Amino acid sequence: MLRILKANPILLLVLPVLLGGTIWAWVALLPGSSSFYSDTMPMFNTFFKWISYFPIGALVFGLAVLLLEAFTLNSFINKHSLLKQSSYLPAFFYILFCSCRHTLICFYPSLVASLFLILAVRRLAESYKKEKALSELFDAGLFIGIAALVYVPVIVFVFFLWIAVLIMRSLNWRDWIVSVIGFALPFIFAMGYFTVFYSPEHFWYDRIMLAFGNYKLGLSMPWKGMLLFICLIITAIVSTWFYINRISDNILKAQKVSVLMLWFVFFAVVSIVLSPEKNARSFVILAMPFSYIFSNYFTKSKSKVLPEMLFIFFIVTIVLSVFF
């Protein structure tokens, strides 16, 4: 199955869109399904509450954001030749990662934050070897700031920003300051708005700190969800081990981006720990780096049996989780 997809790029382009659309349509028709979710992120609610009054529109918008993220990520990976050859596998994995549980079939904060984190990583990669990259670093900081504003747990990515500047650039104080200004700008504008029309306390306590005040645990899952979780863990371990051992095989720029992805995984895990909810939505931040790590393994592995088995196991567990 994997070999067929790798040999047919058009099929690999069309299939994830069809699968994603089918999954979203199927779950949307189920009784009790939700099209909008923002219970623990007040600032997200501030920006997007209006769309909750249009359930079908919210689902269509959520799917559109997901597809935009998937192909933005795929374009970034292909543009910088991060895989052995151009492939639509990253988009394929990203769409399935973000559609593998019923709770993911709606419009929610971490989905929107993921788009801006992808854009931030893209701008950071574009800053490599540029004599002056203030624009790229400002944009990267701005995108991470917007992501943190709508989904507060990813505020830890400000540390990722500083590490990324060190990896992709050098110890230049202008780069650091510009990236921090970009990160702070969305908070400054939001603070200014609430100061003028409400009060500063209304912003910090009712819009930022309140996001951490309502903890919910959602880790209980049926056997189908547990099977999917085990499949993802096994594939992630195998793929990451392969990925780490092959980083040095790439050109220098690809090596730096690959290291950047590992740091992204680390801070994504930290954001999950900080998230008020421990459910599938909080894990969506991991979809971006692992779409690349999985694609790297399934594209470059010379083994014929294990990748095929893991890929089939992955597809089967998602089908079971969603449709049965």
By CB atoms closer than 10 A (0-12, 13-18, 19+), residue 109 is buried
Q: Compare 256 and 173 and report the one with higher pLDDT.
A: 256
Residue 223's pLDDT band (boundaries 50, 70, 90)? confident
Nearest to 89 by CA among 4, 23, 174: 4
Domains: count for the chain: 1
Q: Encode pLDDT of 259-306 as tens digits.
A: 999 999 999 999 998 888 778 888 999 999 999 999 999 998 888 889
Q: What is the predicted pLDDT for the residue at 12? A: 84
Residue in the block written with tokens 């895989």: 83
pLDDT band of residue 219 (cuts 50, 70, 90) is low
pLDDT for res 192 = 80
Weakest-pLDDT range from 76-90, 212-226, 291-305, 308-322: 212-226
% helix, strand, coil for the chain, step of 5: 80, 0, 20
Q: How many CA atoms lie within 13 A of 320 on its CB side?
A: 15
Secondary structure of 1-56 in the HEC alphabet?
CHHHHHHCHHHHHHHHHHHHHHHHHHHHCCCCCCCECCCCCHHHHHHHHHHHHCHH
Q: What is the pLDDT of residues 3-33, one digit of tens each?
A: 787 778 888 888 888 988 999 998 888 876 6
Spatial neighbors of 181 by CB under 8 A, at least 6 apart, are 138, 141
Do 94 and 291 touch, CB atoms closer than 8 A? Answer: yes
pLDDT band at 53, cuts 50/70/90? confident
**133-165 burial string, b = 16+ CB within 10 Å, else e?**
bbebbbbbbbbbbbbbbbbbbbbbbbebbbbbb
- Say what percent of the chain tops pLDDT 70: 89
Prediction pTM value = 0.92
- Parent domain of 205: 2-323
Is the confidence at residue 112, as pLDDT, over 90? yes
